[in-house]
Amino acid sequence: MNNNMDYVLDVKNLSTSFISDRKEIRIVKNVSLRLRRGTTLAVVGESGCGKSVTVHSIVKLMPKNAKVSADHVIYRSAKDGKEYRLDQMEPFGTEMRKLRGAEIGMVFQDPMSSLNPVYKVGDQVAEGLIQHTGMSKAEAQKQVLDMFRKLGIPDPESRISDFPHQFSGGMKQRVVIAIAMICNPDIIIADEPTTALDVTIQAQIMELMKSLQVNDHKSIILITHNMGLVAEMADEVCVMYMGRVMEFGSLEDIFENPSHPYTQALLRSVPVLGLAEGQELGTIPGITPNPADLGPGCEFADRCPFCQDRCRQKDIPRFEVSPGHYVRCLKFDSFQEVD
Amino acid sequence: MSSQTSVFEQANKKHASSLLRKNIRKFVNNRLAMIGLICVVVIVFTAVFAPLLTSYDPNKISLGEKNTSPCMEHLLGTDNLGRDVFARVLYGGRVSVFVSVMGALMGSLVGMVLGSMAGYFGGKLDMLLVRLSEIFQTFPEMILIMILVAILGQGVGNLVLVFCITGWMTTFRMVRNEFLALRGETYVQVCEAFGMPKAAIMFKQILPNVLSPVIVSATVNVAGFILSEASLSFLGVGVPSSVPTWGNILNAAKSVEVVSNYWWLWAVPGGVISIFVLAINFFGDGLRDVLDPKQQ
Amino acid sequence: MKKTTNRLLALALALILVCMAGCGGGNNANSGAGSSTPASTPASTPDAPSGPVEQTLKVATTLGSGGSSDATGDKTKYPWHNPDGVTTAAMYRTLLLADANLTDVSPSLATEYTVSDDGLTYTFTMKEGVKWSDGEPLTAADVAFSIKTNLKVASGNAIFTNAFTNIVGADAWRDGSASDLEGVKVDGNVVTINLSSSYGAFIPVIAQFCILPEHAVKDIDPLELHNSEYWANPVTSGAFKLGELSVGNYYTLVPNEYYEGTPWKITQIINYYVPDLLVAAQAGNTYMLNTNSPEIISELGKLDFMTMYPVDILFYRYFICNMKGVDGNQNPVMQDKRVREAILYAIDRETIAEQLYPGLAHVLHSGVPNDYAEYNGKAYEYNPEKAKQLLQEANYDFNHTFRILYYYSDQNSIDFMDTIAYYLREVGMKVETVQSQQGTVDLFQTRNYDVGYKGLSAFNIAEWYGEYSSGNSNFRNIFGGDTLFDEKAEAIAAESDPAKRSQILKDLQTLEQENLYKLPLYTIGNNIFVNTKCVKLPDGVTFGNPWYLYDMDLANWEIIA
Amino acid sequence: MLSFIGKKLLQMIPMLLLISFIVFGGLQLMDIDPISYMVTPDMAASAENQEALREQLGLNDPFVVRYFNWVKDLLTGNFGYSIINGTSIANIVRTRLPATFELAIIALILSSVIGIGIGILSAIRQNGIIDYVGRVFAVLGQSIPQFFFGICMVQIFAIKLGWLPVNGRTSPGASGLGDAIVHLVLPVLTMTVAMCAVLMRYSRNTMLDVLNSDYIKTARSKGIPEWKVYIKHGFRNAMRPVLVILCFRLPMLIGGSVVIESVFGWPGIGSIITQSVVSGDYPVIMVTTLMVAAAILVASFLVDVLTAALDPRVRLGE
């Protein structure tokens, strides 16, 4: 575990639960994942599977009724070569704040509501920069201009003093990305960055993100339910279902050799251009269960065609089916169990 | 195919009933809201069944036993004419609660009808009604009420009317805005394409969507009107002073002599007014949490 | 970021400025109103009184009492309504000054007066050297002007109208057909008044009649005199004149340097406008007040610094029956005398008086109070059975909603009406009590009632009987212009011989009890309270009817704390 | 921005005209004769003279004639005279409007500062002590009849303890800020309590809404300190709806002054309106309600301008 400088983010057994109606509901369960420096990790799954909660738990932007615990959440900074234990930091303390924005940038799902309607976009982008570097407003503005140019926002000199409502959705998302990028962070966490956008704009934004990763050597966590995007963007994929990582592996592992029944079903449901006549698009039978009603055992058991009695008895361990390819399914209990 | 639909229907029903159950549970779990509901129910109940709860006539004068402090015979004492305070507060509640509840209901009704019309038809009618509501809102409520009372004269029915006239604007705006938003929805257009009568579309299809906030605002109005009734009594323009209402009973007890010597004469009506208003507010808050979570 | 902070700061500043403008504006307006007064007077008046003033008498007026010109606190009192209170006595003088019984008089502005044997000619000789507070001389012409003006005002106490209409040529002067009032002549410092018919109470009325300055009032339309802006800064003839008027708050009176009499020991009077007299007394903001409210009396009784002086006055409370008007308006319900009688029998007036107005109310059986020698002893005792029987005899429709109209808005009156309604319901009647905001119109024009609850603070007993007269422009609308009482009612007003008066009174009493147009309930006494911890009253001062002007020896009142 | 202000100002004129017509028309339906009010039955004087006065004051003219005369007079700056006590209405307005505004504005500022402050604090520390105490206070303040609260305050602080004057706006022989303040305490307190309650609840709820919004998350993701998140991103956005509710509360504030002024003998416009409504003094009702309506329109106009300043979407006309 000492050559781990390669992993910019290392999460071990992260669990999050919410307290509602005086009941504790587990939303994220023992999630472990690692983000390799300069690569993109895609977290995929149906809506409500805990993808967003996972990353929000990592950066500790959680509401007060959430309980987060983890064996460790380690961030390894390239700037100073230090390891930071995120799980041991105060959510809104100085240490955590120093990392947020500066080392970990975030892009949220809905650009329409992610920008504060009452401030000029330039100021909003510059805010983080000024906070972390203490530079003057004028200097910051200059950097913002550069960033706008880089992100392909036309006419940045005048747009910089416009208000969010004067921007289109795609442009707003570029501004949000600018906010995430302005301090030159190592990691960008993009929480469904294109869901709220038009298809053509989606492609532009994704291209932009890809180029950031490749050219600026950023590490990206991409949260999405769009398998197409995953195929295009990701280096590694983490498939989640009901707060659990069902399968984790490289892009090839997942797409060429999907092992978990859920991953297989997920992939079958992706529309492919030139679908042969008579070939049906797969659906996953049943509906997503209510997290409060889940029993023990595999969360996917109810919808799984391979389900056996033993699947419903206790939590399913992880099996490493090939190096770096983990599956949480008893079908693979012949493989080595890792925790 | 048909079995599948029925499955869906069942699922829907199950979902709906579980939503209702969830809402009820949510409401029941809100302790303040439950206390509020219980208080409101108890007070309304005692007012409605006043004759069963007390044998005294609220207007029965017995000058020999005036200003008796609470005792077994007169649970809450008597006033300066020897009338039983308990009976007066019970019977007074009938009028006060009736006036405020009716006022709020009528106000909401007027607001809903005008709001639906303004929002659905839009155009000049909308502009006219919006202006009208703005004018009504520009007037200080108390002054408007006083002028209206001066025009209509004092009386229980008139007060209901006055509350209705002064209380429709909030509902109107709410309903109108919602209608404006929903008018363009596909389902409304489908209904129109089917040739459904306009009134049916307005009241059967769109209106149910805005009922929740309207109900909440009506409850809040009830609380406000109870207080207004008391203030009007103080200014001498409320329900005629010969009719026992909470406001009139409290107003009769405002003199320094009563305040310092006969606590039960002001504490009882004052307490009942405050408890009822508090309870209504708690109840309304709870209702809002359940029915209308986004509009806190 | 910085810019936003600036903007927020500016916003806060703006709000504060708006607030200060609000306050500042208010203060300016006040001092403006205040300083305009001292500007016209020499330096003796302190511009804004500073520090404690030694001899300051504090009194108070209730805000919002209907029918009073100073009810809103915009101006001082109009002295031709009720010439009552310390402030009126301090500001205005009459030709003669009445004693506490309002009957005997002593010289004031007039040094002497004569009455002819036929009682038709009065002469008043004016005191020399009297000046108004603005330095102008007060002359006999002012007296003549005041009487003439009073005949033309729209609002004023009826005692003046009733007396002055007897002056020769009064009607012609009032309707404008004469350019002068024939019966009033001025000759040097003598005023001569000729009456067309004798009027017994002429001298007592003159003793209530404040003389106003012709030079200051002549340009004001008499019809609007009662609410003229003039009263915000009037010219006075008494020992005091206006110091400062702070609208809605208070006004102060300061010594009038043109006052030729002995200066008062008191050197300042403050009249506060208050929402509640009792609270003002508790807070020490009024040293003197009068009340007939049992609640206030009992509360004031708890303040050891307030001393009570009960006064016995002719303040009638009674029902008037709406029967028929000269215009043909009919209300058959009340036309049956048995119904009117039944109402008197149905109400336990003794108990009500005892319980609601302990020690204050005295039950009446006619216009003659029970302790008068003329009282004939006839009484309507509480007898609900008899009431029921009478109603049945009269074929009274028990489904008829019997409407009682009243115009008092104090809690005592409301309680009283509730009690009356209760008693009438007990004999099987359906009763509704209606509070009216505009008594005169509702009682005498709209007339949508069966009986009306009315009060009369009578100057003398003749005023009570004057209401029966067919010439009474109000009562003829409900009594049908019946001439039954006319002769006797006129006689009691004109007659001044005690023996003859006594006989007329007895006759009137019988006539009244036979007809019951008015249902007498009770007379209500009054209590005057003086803060004797702060005020030292001179020996021998007696208090009288608080609605009228009389000699309280105010000049010798002293402030001791 | 200027055209925005101009547009709003122009909109006020027809509003005022319409209000004046409605009020005037309404008053005609009012069955009150001011002359009769003025002369109580206890003190009835000559009926002929009263009729002459009625004629002179034009009370016998038809409605439309009176309305146009009135508007004409108003436009030439002649506000007319009170029928009841003959005071020039210009005088009434001049002396009394400032008093009412003084009360209303101070109560407004105080209740805004306290109400919004506590509301926002309790939103930030949801379910904390401030939140709890604030909510209890809010709910109590909203449920006690104002006049009764006022009467009790006078009894306690002015009579029993003797700390404060019982009524009025100034005392004779005293002047300056101190005098003004002691007179203001009780009426302002009474007014503030109810107003505060509403604002507290409302600003707490809006602030909670705002704190749950995405841009707050964005702001936090930048790593800026929490207080900056609250003040810069939260407060300013929460202020907009609060300002709107504040604007809607203004009429209530003035309306509330009707009761407060009666309780505390405050020489403001509210007590005059009460008196005029009761006595049918229509010229006074007309002018005072118009003044109040105008004042409220101006206030809501100011709120509009403030909203525009706070929210570029409104300012730039979306």
Structural domain including B43 reads: 30-295
Specify the number of domains making up chain A: 1
CA–CA separation, B272 and B44 (whole Å): 11
Percent of chain D with pLDDT over 70: 84
What pLDDT, on the 0 to 100 scale, is given for residue C7? 42
CA–CA separation, C462 and C460 (whole Å): 5
Q: Does an H or E element contain D307, and which?
A: helix D282-310
Specify the fold of D99-280+293-317.
MetI-like fold (1.10.3720)
The answer, for D309 touching chain C at a CB cutoff of 8 Å, is yes
Ranges of residues in chain D whose predicted pLDDT is under 70: 1, 28-50, 54, 56-60, 84-85, 171-176, 248, 313-318
Give yes or no for a contact between D173 and C52, defined as CB atoms under 8 angstroms apart.
yes
- Give yes or no for residue C192 having a pLDDT over 90: yes
What pLDDT, on the 0 to 100 scale, is given for residue D57? 67
**DSSP for C117-178, written as a single string:** TTS-EEEEEEPTT-B-TTSPBP-HHHHHHHHHHHHH-SS--HHHHHHHTTBTTHHHHHTTSS
The answer, for D313 touching chain A at a CB cutoff of 8 Å, is yes
Give yes or no for a contact between A273 and A281, defined as CB atoms under 8 angstroms apart.
no
D280/chain C closest Cα distance in angstroms: 9
pLDDT tier at B166, thresholds 50, 70, 90: confident
For residue D96, the chain C residues in CB contact (below 8 A) are 247-248
Residue type for C351, please?
Answer: T
CB contact under 8 A, D258 and B236: no
CB contact under 8 A, D289 and B143: yes
Name the closest residue on chain C to residue A118, using Cα atoms. C4
What pLDDT, on the 0 to 100 scale, is given for residue C27? 36
Extract the runs of DSSP E, i.e. beta strands, from C71-116.
Answer: 96-98, 105-107, 110-115
Question: pLDDT digit string (tens) for B188-207?
Answer: 778 878 878 888 887 777 77
**Residue A153 within any structural domain of the chain:** no
Name the closest residue on chain A to residue D309, using Cα atoms. A118
**Residue A37 within any structural domain of the chain:** yes
**Residue A117 within any structural domain of the chain:** no
Question: Quick one: C324 exposed, middle or buried, by C-beta within 10 A (0-12, 13-18, 19+)?
Answer: buried
ipTM above 0.85, yes or no: no
Structural domain including A286 reads: 4-103+183-272+281-337
Which of the pair, C555 or A292, is modelled with greater confidence? C555
Among the partner-chain residues C67, C227, C279, the one whose CB lies closest to the CB of D166 is C279
Among the partner-chain residues B142, B150, B275, the one whose CB lies closest to the CB of D255 is B142
User: In whole angstroms, how large is the CA radius of gyration of chain A?
Assistant: 21
Chains that touch D (3 or more CB pairs under 8 A): A, B, C
**Residue A321 within any structural domain of the chain:** yes
Interface test with D, best of B127, B139, B256 (most D CBs within 10 A): B139
The answer, for A22 touching chain B at a CB cutoff of 8 Å, is yes
Specify the number of domains making up chain B: 1
pLDDT tier at B18, thresholds 50, 70, 90: low
Burial annotation A106-136 (CB, 10 A radius, 16+ → b, else e): bbbbbbbbbbbbbbbbbbbbbbbbbbbeeee
Work out the average pLDDT over A159-185: 83
pLDDT tier at B57, thresholds 50, 70, 90: confident
What pLDDT, on the 0 to 100 scale, is given for residue D19? 77
Name the closest residue on chain B to residue C281, using Cα atoms. B256
Instruction: Provide the β-strand partners of residue A25.
Output: A18
Lowest mean pLDDT: which of A281-295, C305-319, C409-423? A281-295
Q: Residue D174: helix, strand or coil by DSSP?
A: coil
What pLDDT, on the 0 to 100 scale, is given for residue C23? 38
**Residue B21 within any structural domain of the chain:** no
Work out the average pLDDT over C407-436: 86
Read off the CATH number of the domain in which B214 is found: 1.10.3720.10
Cα end-to-end span (Å), chain C: 63
pLDDT tier at C398, thresholds 50, 70, 90: confident
What pLDDT, on the 0 to 100 scale, is given for residue C212? 92
What pLDDT, on the 0 to 100 scale, is given for residue D39? 58
For residue C351, the chain B residues in CB contact (below 8 A) are 63
Q: Which residues of A touch D (CB under 8 A)?
A: 59, 61, 63-64, 92, 96-102, 105-106, 108-110, 113-118, 124, 127-128, 131-132, 163, 165-166, 176, 179-180
Give yes or no for a contact between A242 and A294, defined as CB atoms under 8 angstroms apart.
yes
Give yes or no for a contact between C61 and C274, defined as CB atoms under 8 angstroms apart.
yes
Give yes or no for a contact between B69 and B50, defined as CB atoms under 8 angstroms apart.
no
